[in-house]
Amino acid sequence: MKTLRNTVFVIFLALTVSLFCPSSGNTEQVYDSKVGGIVWSDINDNGIRDSGEPGIAGVQINLYHADNSGQVGQLWAVGQSFIGNATFPKGYYEFDGLGIGDVYLEVILPTGYKLSPAFAGDPAYDSDFSPVTGLSNLITITSYNDSQLSFDAGLNGVSEPLTILLLGFSVIGVTGIRRELRN
């Protein structure tokens, strides 16, 4: 009876191992998911990448884990949009080697730029970052080879406001040049 009990236990153990531990030889999961997009100069500030609007290189993009409540969590990686080459256009960025889970992206605005309006049109061509927070919506990576490469950021260069100060009969402009007003 003891031999039969040991045999049943060994068969049960073998079935349990075969169900929960694949025997393909390599049991490590390859993390090959990617998120990315392009950062471009939205010349007309409409939130849509129009023909002739160039990519912008060197813009910092941050990747964050989402916490358990789906909010922005810990900073995971920092990247930059590319200068451009034969493979990737100017302004392209990508984070790869990601696993299943939820993440956020954040655009760090260069001096003199603001984000264009978000979600203004076709998701393949519009800006996907909040002009207020600089963050994307929650991105859910659903498999180990998920590619989500349409998180684009339209940036618009802003000008410093022109200040004119009237003092008596003189005008002092932003250049500091004083000009006399004559009748």
User: pLDDT tens across 49-65, in order?
Assistant: 999 999 999 999 999 98
Range of the domain at 140: 33-157
Residues in a beta bridge with 121: none
Query: Does 1 reside within a domain?
Result: no
Helix, coil or strand: residue 168: coil
Residue 131, in any domain of the structure: yes
Q: Return the H-helix or E-strand segment holding 17.
A: helix 2-20
Q: What is the CATH number of the domain that holds 69?
A: 2.60.40.10
**3-class SS string, 82-106:** CCCCCCCCCCEEEEEEECCEEEEEE
Does residue 22 lie in a domain region?
no
Question: Would you say residue 68 lies in a domain?
Answer: yes
What's the pLDDT tens digit per position in 127-163?
Answer: 999 999 999 999 999 999 999 999 999 999 975 554 4
Q: Could you report the per-residue pLDDT of 167-177, keeping only the tens digit for each? A: 444 444 444 43
Q: Predicted confidence band at 87 (pLDDT cuts at 50, 70, 90)?
A: low
Q: How many domains does the chain have?
A: 1
> Is 7 contained in some domain?
no
